[in-house]
Amino acid sequence: MIGVDTSVRGFTIRLVMETGDSSRKSIEFSGPANITHETTDAIVNAANSSLLGGGGVDGAIHRAGGPAILAECRQIVSKIGSLSAGKAVITTGGRLAAKHVIHTVGPVYRSGDQGAAEKLASCHLESIRLADEHGLQSISFPAISTGAFGYPVSQAAAMAISSTVEALASASQVKNVRFVLFDAGTLREYERAAETFLRSNPDSPFQIEKASS
């Protein structure tokens, strides 16, 4: 089970950016919640390199989406072999409300390994790039690599926010990114990371907006 409270559908805080065409781009943080219930155009799967399913978010997405997701993953594997950490591919969403699943492989955390940070950033950059290439407007992420791969949540959150801001600011199609987080502790870490990012980057085009209570 990955959902603690799947009734939570809104956001607690979000980062917003006004665009030149009078619309807005946003990065939202929601939880505790179940990413398989998301209605964004795509959800991101924290996959393993085999793309054949596994535990945690990966297994939950395959179970909820049904065999069509795995069938497309097998086709991809037959062409490219295993998927490297930091890379991303896209499949159908099968029975999910989301039309697509973007599969990305997070890095296994090792203290002092700068390469892990770069690969985690790439997971977010590549997923948003792929969504943009496919004309999608919204995408939901889990907390990549913070489960069995052992990435400290505070560090993962900081990297996720900075890379997502970078990718979303330059995206032509994607307008909304949601972080759909498993528990309240992870949600708080991502909120803190967003607030810290804006304090450290006062010239960022994004501003913080809090949900009314």
Q: Are 105 and 85 in contact (CB under 8 A)?
A: yes
Distance CA 210, CA 149 (A): 31
Q: Which amino acid is at 161?
A: I
Tokens 């940070």: give the residue.
117
Question: Does a structural domain hold residue 5?
Answer: no
pLDDT recorded at residue 113: 77
pLDDT recorded at residue 157: 98
DSSP string, 31-49: -S--GGG--SSEEEEEE-T
pLDDT recorded at residue 158: 98
pLDDT digits (tens, 9 = 90+) for 95-113: 999 999 999 999 999 877 7
- Residue in 58, 132, 183, 203 annotated catalytic: 58
Question: Does a structural domain hold residue 6?
Answer: no
pLDDT recorded at residue 110: 86
| Domain with 52 in it | 13-208
pLDDT recorded at residue 97: 98
Question: Does a structural domain hold residue 68?
Answer: yes
The CATH number of residue 168's host domain is 3.40.220.10
Ranges of the chain whose pLDDT falls below 70: 1-11, 212-213
DSSP alpha helices (H): ranges in the chain?
56-65, 67-80, 114-133, 153-170, 184-200
| Domain total of the chain | 1
Sign of CA dihedral 85, 91, 94, 97: positive
Question: Does a structural domain hold residue 113?
Answer: yes
pLDDT recorded at residue 19: 86
CA count, 13 A, side-chain hemisphere, 63: 13
Region of 86 on the Ramachandran plot (φ > 0 left; ψ -120 to 50 alpha; else beta)? left
Joined together, the tokens standing for residue 205 give: 């085009």
Output the pTM of the full model. Answer: 0.92
CA count, 13 A, side-chain hemisphere, 59: 8
pLDDT recorded at residue 3: 35
Question: Does a structural domain hold residue 2?
Answer: no
> Quick check: is 58 catalytic?
yes
Question: Does a structural domain hold residue 213?
Answer: no
